[in-house]
A and B are shown apart, each in its own frame.
Chain A
Amino acid sequence: MSELHTIQTNINGKPVEASVPGRLLLSDFIREELRLTGTHVGCEHGVCGACTILYDGLPSRSCLMLAVQADGHEIVTVEGLASNGELHPLQEAFKAKHGLQCGYCTPGFLMTLVPFLAEHPDPDEATVRDAISGNLCRCTGYQSIVDATLLAARQMREKAGAVDGSEATS
């Protein structure tokens, strides 16, 4: 039970080595051991989505995984989204559209939507709603989260377009 396992993982771009009990949840490892408390826990049974992280780039529920499963894999948490202090466009859009109230569910929505937007740069409302239907929010009624996502998609497209455009002319 208390036997420890050594794991080597990469969290938000930094290599991490740790010794963990076999039964330690990945969510607890992230929150309690690494003190990355932006990953929230709402149900610990895989339904609410608050604990969503990226596991080798895929949105995954850290409450349904064990810390030992991080061995040899890359993990990104909400703390890894902003770069050099600058918010990710999706974070910006959440602020602009009032996509959060208490903010407890928010990290899970962000970590679900970042890979979604990478795959669906121009989603419609129904697709967005479908994409977040596995994340629960008890405060916002979802409308502002949907609007934030659509805004982020547009802004990211415009930015990509501007970059492509400048490359084309140079």
Chain B
Amino acid sequence: MSVQCVGEPILRNEDERLLKGDALFTDDVQLPGLLHAAFLRSPYGHARILSIDVEAARQSAGVLGVYTAKDIGSLMNPAPLIVPPPPIEGLVFNQRTHTALASSKVRHVGEPIAMVVAESRYLAEDAIEKIHVDFEQLPVHLDIEDSLQAAESFVHDDLESNLAAHVVQRRGDYEKAKAEAHRVITRRFTYDRGIAAPIENRCVVADWNRMGKRLTVWDTTQAPIPIRNGLAGMLGLTENQVRVIAPHIGGAFGAKLMAFYSEEMLVPWASMQLERPVRWTEDRHENFYSTSHERGQVHEAEIAVDQEGHILGIKDVFIHDTGAYNNYGLTLPINSQCCLLGLYHIPSYYSEFRVAFTNKTLVAPYRGAGRQHGVFVIERLLDSVARELNIDRAEIRRRNLIPPDAFPYDHKIIYQDFAPLVYDSGNYEPVLRKAMDMIDYDTFIRDVQPRLRAEGRRVGIGIVTYAEGTGIGPYEGARVQVLGSGKVLVVTGVGTQGQGHYTSFAQLAAQQLGVDVTDVEVVTGDTDQFHWGTGTFASRGAVVAGNAVNAAATAVREKVIHLAADLLSVSVDEIDLVDGKAIHRADPEKSMTLGQLAAAANPTRGAVRPGTEPGLEATRYFGPERGTTAFGAHAAILEVEQGTYQIKVLEYVVVHDCGKVINPMIVEGQVHGGVAQGIGNAFLEQLVFDDQGRIKNANLRDFLLPTALEVPRMKCGHEETPSPLNPMGVKGTGEAGAIPVGPLFAQALDDAFSDVRLEILDIPLNSSTLWHSVQEQGENQVAIHEWT
């Protein structure tokens, strides 16, 4: 057999070019005659456009084109709905997607109204300032609860309210469970908006080749193939006239998934109009308005338990903010609805949500994609039960875990992939136990905390769990080929944004073909190289594309072995693939290199046997019947500083189980990055809107992303429960780190202030909201006065 490389922390193939500054990112694309686009964006949250005067802009230096809604013809059709609503009975869904440019009215600050194309970005921005628009301001809907109550001036004039959707899912009979319960606890939770803020802003470069009749688009997208297909339709081209390349991407986390952003339609269109290449690069201020947002929910939740704290049922009624449009369908609130069930056996569940249109940027997935909201609700509810029934917080979780013999476990509701929410495999208690051991949970509560408390230090511990639905369909594909040099080429349709696909996919092929990982070249995100697939999202790259790569590599392995056996005149089961060679096991002198075999598989003269396919190549697809569920537990010890209420993370532990792991180094990196984003979400990042819906902190100085000073050192533990839903047994891991940080921080802070019975119900928190919450706790003020 070949050397084991799947499951090993192999160093990354892509690092050298990134470290040297040689890797191509979209904004690096330079073409002769390149023009630059800039956009005029709405300064108002909700206003009618009465007139637009672009004359002065047209006269501005270096300008080649100024375009408003009336100039762009068929591009004014509403953008496609990305995800249709799943088949849930009684579901209401009012589909309203955006158009490339606003025409009669603007629905959020930052909505594009006009595009200028000029010889440089500087000149394009000069011209933007010369466009004059007359607006008539309309009432602005910002708060999600108020928005649903509004009686007039709706976000979409043709609707009778701001309701975008209404969905009810139920399991069992909650009311009956409630009637039989020992205790019923009700809470109201809010979870505010956030943004992904990848360090690379979005960018689109388009080059229409008039002679070749082909359009090439470089795009910071997570979904190059859907962009290619959609653009072809919008621009009246065939699919093979359009090539979309997603080169290296500087982080995405969901924010580069929204197909189509206005600029992705307009920049290629402008290149065709002007017959010159055009580039648009978003600036950071634009990123706050024109790239999708995430989150924004208010939950009224109720939990019914028996005397021992076993969950009898949960009722959750929530409102989800979709912003001005709902291109992404219901993915986010359904994720919240499903993820709320966590790792727990919940015999009855009533979940109802309404989605509100508001005058804010549209909402689409960002790492976690609504999962953290559900997890926040269930974990906080369990904490309230633990407190009221006086049960330890880890113990209440343990008692409610789905037992290992209950898999596959059917929650009896529908998930975002339209399939029933069935967990494929799991073994939860060891993960919880390991997190407790790694953070020394019992010792901390018994000895450490009382000692530190006595010294006047406010320290608290938290422990939470989460489930992460990953690796959803529909499918991905891959082509694997042995090249004449003996190196191996892997081509797949998914794009990559830092997840290490150039390495993990290479490991899969290397393992099957007995070559070094560095001898496998991986090509991703170029529709001319592979043109079937959907994209990198929902932690599905390793699962769906990974299994396709593995299947294609396995098929090529078969071909290599058969050809080698034939040429070496031995039987197929006597051949091993090692060190880039096919060797006769008994007599390793008898061998051929993969390069020789590739040449032999592509004869240039003579005859071949009937039915022979040339080359050592195979293409395979993988489409899982449904998603696979990864899970884990996070634990942390926090300290709040006296006086400033600054929070220090003293310990942070993550134990997760994502099935079989291809590259543990890469998985651990994903977890670290996820936790960092989770900390940002939970504690630092808050968009502050004025009454027009302008973001008062739309820059990286005032919108605080975590730095190396806020993100602690983390300890990671692993468990491995393989998924039965794919041959490799892998599960996704992209979002695991980010999901449970909110409730973890909330619980640990509650613990630090347990003497004043602090209970945190809102995310994000910060030192100031924490201070206010603590002050508001009426009971036992003495303790807090002495400490503050």
Chain A interface residues toward B at CB < 8 A = 2, 21, 23-24, 28, 31-32, 35-45, 47-48, 50, 77-79, 81-82, 87, 91, 94-96, 98, 100-107, 110, 125, 128-130, 132-146
The CA-CA distance from A44 to B708 in the complex, in Å, is 21
Q: Inside 8 A of B61's CB, which chain A residues have their CB?
A: 2
Which one of A2, A106, A129, A135 contacts B19 once the chains associate, using CB atoms below 8 Å?
Answer: A106
Q: Inside 8 A of A130's CB, which chain B residues have their CB?
A: 708-709
Q: Per-position contact with A for B1-16: 1 when CB-CB < 8 Å, else 0? A: 0000000000110111
Judge whether B349 is part of the interface by a CB distance below 8 angstroms: no
Q: Inside 8 A of A142's CB, which chain B residues have their CB?
A: 672, 676, 707-708, 711
Binds A, one of B182-190, B494-502, B513-521: B494-502
The CA-CA distance from A82 to B22 in the complex, in Å, is 11
Could you write out 29 A-B pairs with CB less than 8 Å apart?
A23-B122, A38-B20, A42-B199, A43-B284, A48-B199, A77-B21, A81-B20, A87-B19, A91-B20, A98-B665, A100-B15, A100-B498, A101-B251, A103-B15, A104-B498, A106-B19, A129-B708, A129-B709, A135-B707, A136-B707, A138-B197, A138-B199, A138-B705, A141-B672, A141-B674, A141-B675, A142-B708, A143-B713, A146-B708
B21 in contact with A38 (CB, 8 Å): yes
How many of B's residues come within 8 Å of A, CB to CB?
Answer: 57
Q: Which 10 A-B pairs have the closest CB atoms?
A: A38-B21, A104-B250, A102-B498, A103-B18, A141-B672, A101-B498, A141-B676, A37-B28, A47-B700, A78-B21
A107 in contact with B499 (CB, 8 Å): no
Which one of B27, B498, B672, B673 contacts A41 once the chains associate, using CB atoms below 8 Å?
Answer: B27
Q: A43-B700, A94-B15, A145-B708 are in contact. Are A140 and B672 (CB under 8 A)?
A: yes
B250 in contact with A103 (CB, 8 Å): yes
The CA-CA distance from A146 to B442 in the complex, in Å, is 31
A45 in contact with B284 (CB, 8 Å): yes
Judge whether B699 is part of the interface by a CB distance below 8 angstroms: yes
Q: Which of B24-53 contact A (CB under 8 A)?
A: 24-25, 27-28, 30
Which one of A41, A138, A141 contacts B714 once the chains associate, using CB atoms below 8 Å?
Answer: A141
Judge whether B472 is part of the interface by a CB distance below 8 angstroms: no
Q: Inside 8 A of B665's CB, which chain A residues have their CB?
A: 98
Least CB distance from B182 to A in Å reads 42
Which one of A87, A100, A104 contacts B200 once the chains associate, using CB atoms below 8 Å?
Answer: A104
If over half of B's interface residues share one DSSP class (helix, strand or loop), that class is named, otherwise mixed; here it is: loop
B19 in contact with A138 (CB, 8 Å): no
B701 in contact with A50 (CB, 8 Å): no
The CA-CA distance from A104 to B249 in the complex, in Å, is 8
**Additional 8 contacts, C-beta under 8 A, given A79-B21, A94-B15, A95-B12:** A31-B28, A37-B28, A50-B199, A102-B199, A129-B709, A137-B199, A138-B251, A143-B711
The CA-CA distance from A31 to B665 in the complex, in Å, is 32
The CA-CA distance from A144 to B677 in the complex, in Å, is 15
Q: Inside 8 A of A44's CB, which chain B residues have their CB?
A: 283-284
B201 in contact with A91 (CB, 8 Å): no
The CA-CA distance from A23 to B15 in the complex, in Å, is 34
B15 in contact with A141 (CB, 8 Å): no
Q: A2-B61, A94-B19, A98-B669 are in contact. Are A133 and B708 (CB under 8 A)?
A: yes
Q: Inside 8 A of A45's CB, which chain B residues have their CB?
A: 284, 699-701
The CA-CA distance from A150 to B728 in the complex, in Å, is 36
Most A CB within 10 A of own CB, among B14, B24, B672, B677: B672
Q: Inside 8 A of A101's CB, which chain B residues have their CB?
A: 251, 498-500, 669, 673
Q: Inside 8 A of B20's CB, which chain A residues have their CB?
A: 38, 78-79, 81-82, 87, 91
Q: Inside 8 A of B122's CB, which chain A residues have their CB?
A: 21, 23-24
The CA-CA distance from A140 to B15 in the complex, in Å, is 14
A139 in contact with B673 (CB, 8 Å): yes
Judge whether B23 is part of the interface by a CB distance below 8 angstroms: yes
The CA-CA distance from A40 to B250 in the complex, in Å, is 10
Minimal Cβ-Cβ distance residue in B for A91: B19
Most A CB within 10 A of own CB, among B284, B500, B665, B705: B284
Q: Inside 8 A of A40's CB, which chain B residues have their CB?
A: 25, 199-200, 250
Minimal Cβ-Cβ distance residue in B for A2: B61
Judge whether B198 is part of the interface by a CB distance below 8 angstroms: yes
A100 in contact with B251 (CB, 8 Å): no
Q: Inside 8 A of B668's CB, which chain A residues have their CB?
A: 98
B709 in contact with A103 (CB, 8 Å): no
Minimal Cβ-Cβ distance residue in A for B17: A103
Least CB distance from B449 to A in Å reads 25
The CA-CA distance from A79 to B28 in the complex, in Å, is 14
